[in-house]
Amino acid sequence: MTGLQVADSFLVANGKVRGLELHRRRFTASCAALGVEAGGYFDDQAGRLPAFGRWFPRFELTGGELAVQLRPAPTQGDRIRVSVRRDPRTQPRVKGPDLGLLEELRAEAAAADRSDEVLLVDQDGIALEGAYSALVWWEDGTLCVPPAALPILPSVTAELLRGLATERGTEIAERTRTPAELADADEVWLVNALHGIRPIHAWHTDPIDPLPLSTAPTWQQALLGLAKPL
Protein backbone atom coordinates (compact mmCIF):
# COMPACT_ATOMS: atom_id res chain seq x y z
CA MET A 1 0.00 0.00 0.00
CA THR A 2 1.29 3.46 -0.86
CA GLY A 3 0.24 6.96 0.18
CA LEU A 4 -0.13 8.62 3.56
CA GLN A 5 -2.07 6.26 5.85
CA VAL A 6 -1.78 7.95 9.26
CA ALA A 7 -0.40 11.30 10.43
CA ASP A 8 -0.22 13.23 13.66
CA SER A 9 1.30 16.65 14.38
CA PHE A 10 1.78 18.70 17.52
CA LEU A 11 3.49 21.91 18.58
CA VAL A 12 6.83 21.66 20.36
CA ALA A 13 7.76 25.00 21.92
CA ASN A 14 11.08 25.10 23.78
CA GLY A 15 10.90 21.39 24.47
CA LYS A 16 7.30 21.42 25.78
CA VAL A 17 4.17 19.82 24.32
CA ARG A 18 0.46 19.85 25.18
CA GLY A 19 -1.25 16.47 25.38
CA LEU A 20 1.65 14.40 24.06
CA GLU A 21 0.20 11.17 25.47
CA LEU A 22 -3.10 11.89 23.73
CA HIS A 23 -1.32 12.41 20.41
CA ARG A 24 0.59 9.18 20.97
CA ARG A 25 -2.62 7.29 21.71
CA ARG A 26 -4.38 8.58 18.59
CA PHE A 27 -1.42 7.90 16.29
CA THR A 28 -0.58 4.46 17.61
CA ALA A 29 -4.24 3.35 17.62
CA SER A 30 -4.63 4.28 13.96
CA CYS A 31 -1.40 2.51 13.11
CA ALA A 32 -2.42 -0.58 15.08
CA ALA A 33 -5.67 -0.76 13.09
CA LEU A 34 -3.44 -1.20 10.02
CA GLY A 35 -1.29 -3.85 11.70
CA VAL A 36 1.65 -1.58 12.60
CA GLU A 37 2.93 -1.26 16.16
CA ALA A 38 4.14 2.32 16.49
CA GLY A 39 4.46 2.91 20.24
CA GLY A 40 8.20 2.27 20.53
CA TYR A 41 8.97 4.30 17.43
CA PHE A 42 6.85 7.22 18.66
CA ASP A 43 8.55 7.24 22.06
CA ASP A 44 12.03 7.06 20.59
CA GLN A 45 11.46 9.85 18.06
CA ALA A 46 9.61 12.09 20.52
CA GLY A 47 12.63 11.88 22.80
CA ARG A 48 14.84 13.14 19.97
CA LEU A 49 12.83 16.32 19.27
CA PRO A 50 14.65 19.64 19.85
CA ALA A 51 14.51 21.20 23.29
CA PHE A 52 14.63 24.75 21.90
CA GLY A 53 12.72 26.73 19.27
CA ARG A 54 9.24 26.14 17.83
CA TRP A 55 8.61 22.98 15.84
CA PHE A 56 5.63 21.19 14.33
CA PRO A 57 6.78 17.61 13.73
CA ARG A 58 4.56 15.23 11.80
CA PHE A 59 4.62 11.53 12.62
CA GLU A 60 3.59 9.47 9.60
CA LEU A 61 2.74 5.98 8.46
CA THR A 62 3.20 5.80 4.70
CA GLY A 63 3.14 2.56 2.74
CA GLY A 64 3.50 0.66 6.00
CA GLU A 65 6.67 2.57 6.96
CA LEU A 66 6.99 4.93 9.92
CA ALA A 67 8.69 8.30 9.60
CA VAL A 68 8.88 11.77 11.16
CA GLN A 69 9.06 15.11 9.42
CA LEU A 70 10.71 17.72 11.65
CA ARG A 71 9.15 20.97 10.46
CA PRO A 72 9.50 24.53 11.81
CA ALA A 73 6.22 25.61 13.37
CA PRO A 74 4.16 28.01 11.23
CA THR A 75 3.18 31.36 12.68
CA GLN A 76 0.48 30.98 15.31
CA GLY A 77 -2.88 32.29 14.12
CA ASP A 78 -5.59 34.19 15.95
CA ARG A 79 -9.15 35.05 14.91
CA ILE A 80 -10.23 33.56 11.61
CA ARG A 81 -12.63 33.85 8.70
CA VAL A 82 -14.38 30.56 7.90
CA SER A 83 -16.06 29.14 4.80
CA VAL A 84 -18.52 26.25 4.89
CA ARG A 85 -18.08 23.23 2.61
CA ARG A 86 -19.53 19.71 2.33
CA ASP A 87 -17.30 17.10 3.95
CA PRO A 88 -15.41 15.24 1.18
CA ARG A 89 -13.44 12.85 3.38
CA THR A 90 -13.41 9.09 2.96
CA GLN A 91 -11.85 8.32 6.38
CA PRO A 92 -12.87 11.13 8.75
CA ARG A 93 -11.84 9.31 11.94
CA VAL A 94 -8.24 8.81 10.81
CA LYS A 95 -5.88 11.72 10.34
CA GLY A 96 -3.77 11.26 7.24
CA PRO A 97 -5.50 9.76 4.19
CA ASP A 98 -7.60 12.84 3.43
CA LEU A 99 -5.06 15.59 4.21
CA GLY A 100 -4.29 16.29 0.56
CA LEU A 101 -7.98 16.56 -0.30
CA LEU A 102 -8.57 18.91 2.63
CA GLU A 103 -5.68 21.14 1.61
CA GLU A 104 -7.18 21.49 -1.87
CA LEU A 105 -10.55 22.35 -0.34
CA ARG A 106 -9.04 24.96 1.95
CA ALA A 107 -7.08 26.52 -0.91
CA GLU A 108 -10.25 26.77 -3.00
CA ALA A 109 -12.15 28.41 -0.15
CA ALA A 110 -9.30 30.83 0.49
CA ALA A 111 -9.34 31.92 -3.14
CA ALA A 112 -13.13 32.25 -3.24
CA ASP A 113 -13.85 33.75 0.18
CA ARG A 114 -10.46 34.88 1.58
CA SER A 115 -11.09 32.37 4.37
CA ASP A 116 -8.47 31.00 6.75
CA GLU A 117 -10.18 27.68 7.43
CA VAL A 118 -13.05 25.51 6.19
CA LEU A 119 -15.92 24.28 8.37
CA LEU A 120 -17.08 20.87 7.17
CA VAL A 121 -20.75 19.88 7.20
CA ASP A 122 -22.43 16.52 6.58
CA GLN A 123 -25.14 15.79 4.02
CA ASP A 124 -27.77 17.13 6.41
CA GLY A 125 -25.91 20.41 6.88
CA ILE A 126 -24.75 19.60 10.43
CA ALA A 127 -21.42 21.21 11.35
CA LEU A 128 -18.70 18.63 12.03
CA GLU A 129 -15.27 20.24 12.36
CA GLY A 130 -12.71 22.28 10.48
CA ALA A 131 -10.46 20.91 7.77
CA TYR A 132 -7.59 21.06 10.29
CA SER A 133 -9.43 21.97 13.49
CA ALA A 134 -12.02 20.74 15.96
CA LEU A 135 -15.23 22.70 16.52
CA VAL A 136 -16.34 24.01 19.93
CA TRP A 137 -18.75 26.79 20.78
CA TRP A 138 -20.52 28.53 23.65
CA GLU A 139 -24.24 28.71 24.43
CA ASP A 140 -25.32 30.45 27.64
CA GLY A 141 -22.12 29.57 29.48
CA THR A 142 -22.08 25.94 28.27
CA LEU A 143 -19.11 24.63 26.31
CA CYS A 144 -20.61 22.75 23.36
CA VAL A 145 -19.07 20.14 21.05
CA PRO A 146 -20.47 17.95 18.26
CA PRO A 147 -21.55 14.46 19.38
CA ALA A 148 -18.74 11.91 19.27
CA ALA A 149 -20.98 9.63 17.18
CA LEU A 150 -20.63 12.01 14.22
CA PRO A 151 -17.86 11.30 11.65
CA ILE A 152 -15.22 13.51 13.26
CA LEU A 153 -11.57 13.11 14.17
CA PRO A 154 -10.85 12.66 17.89
CA SER A 155 -9.29 16.02 18.78
CA VAL A 156 -6.51 16.29 21.34
CA THR A 157 -7.04 20.03 21.86
CA ALA A 158 -10.81 19.65 22.26
CA GLU A 159 -10.21 16.92 24.83
CA LEU A 160 -7.80 19.16 26.73
CA LEU A 161 -10.40 21.95 26.71
CA ARG A 162 -13.03 19.59 28.06
CA GLY A 163 -10.66 18.68 30.88
CA LEU A 164 -10.12 22.34 31.70
CA ALA A 165 -13.87 22.95 31.64
CA THR A 166 -14.44 20.09 34.05
CA GLU A 167 -11.82 21.48 36.42
CA ARG A 168 -13.50 24.88 36.30
CA GLY A 169 -16.99 23.51 36.86
CA THR A 170 -18.10 24.61 33.39
CA GLU A 171 -21.01 22.69 31.90
CA ILE A 172 -20.20 20.66 28.77
CA ALA A 173 -22.79 19.48 26.25
CA GLU A 174 -22.80 17.53 22.99
CA ARG A 175 -25.11 19.23 20.50
CA THR A 176 -25.76 19.34 16.77
CA ARG A 177 -25.91 22.70 15.03
CA THR A 178 -25.91 24.01 11.48
CA PRO A 179 -23.52 26.80 10.51
CA ALA A 180 -26.46 29.22 10.49
CA GLU A 181 -27.24 28.29 14.09
CA LEU A 182 -23.57 28.57 15.06
CA ALA A 183 -23.48 32.09 13.63
CA ASP A 184 -25.96 33.02 16.38
CA ALA A 185 -24.00 31.28 19.18
CA ASP A 186 -22.29 33.32 21.87
CA GLU A 187 -18.88 32.41 20.46
CA VAL A 188 -17.49 29.77 18.09
CA TRP A 189 -13.94 28.43 18.15
CA LEU A 190 -11.89 26.19 15.89
CA VAL A 191 -9.12 24.56 17.91
CA ASN A 192 -6.04 22.50 17.10
CA ALA A 193 -2.57 21.58 18.34
CA LEU A 194 -0.74 24.31 16.43
CA HIS A 195 -2.89 27.36 17.13
CA GLY A 196 -4.79 26.36 20.25
CA ILE A 197 -7.98 28.44 20.08
CA ARG A 198 -9.00 30.55 17.09
CA PRO A 199 -12.38 32.31 17.44
CA ILE A 200 -14.43 32.65 14.27
CA HIS A 201 -14.82 36.36 13.58
CA ALA A 202 -16.29 36.17 10.06
CA TRP A 203 -18.29 33.69 7.95
CA HIS A 204 -17.71 33.47 4.19
CA THR A 205 -17.45 37.05 2.93
CA ASP A 206 -19.55 38.59 5.72
CA PRO A 207 -18.25 41.59 7.70
CA ILE A 208 -15.86 40.96 10.56
CA ASP A 209 -17.22 40.66 14.09
CA PRO A 210 -14.65 42.26 16.45
CA LEU A 211 -15.61 39.85 19.30
CA PRO A 212 -14.85 42.39 22.05
CA LEU A 213 -16.10 40.08 24.82
CA SER A 214 -14.27 36.96 23.67
CA THR A 215 -13.27 34.57 26.45
CA ALA A 216 -10.71 32.91 24.18
CA PRO A 217 -7.60 34.63 25.63
CA THR A 218 -8.29 33.27 29.12
CA TRP A 219 -8.80 29.72 27.86
CA GLN A 220 -5.82 30.00 25.53
CA GLN A 221 -3.58 30.84 28.48
CA ALA A 222 -4.95 27.86 30.36
CA LEU A 223 -4.17 25.63 27.38
CA LEU A 224 -0.62 26.97 27.22
CA GLY A 225 -0.23 26.11 30.87
CA LEU A 226 -0.79 22.42 30.06
CA ALA A 227 2.46 22.13 28.08
CA LYS A 228 4.92 19.70 29.65
CA PRO A 229 8.58 18.88 28.93
CA LEU A 230 9.23 16.07 26.49
The structural domains of the chain, ordered by start, are 4-69 (3.30.470), 80-225 (3.20.10.10)
Bridge partners (DSSP) of residue 62 are: 4, 65
Phi, psi angles (nearest 5°) of residue 44: -65, -45
Confidence of residue 172 (pLDDT cuts 50, 70, 90): very high
Radius of gyration of the chain (CA): 17
Phi, psi angles (nearest 5°) of residue 51: -95, 10
Q: What is the mean pLDDT of residues 92-120?
A: 97
Confidence of residue 1 (pLDDT cuts 50, 70, 90): very low
pLDDT of residue 2: 58
pTM score of the predicted model: 0.95
Phi, psi angles (nearest 5°) of residue 72: -60, 145
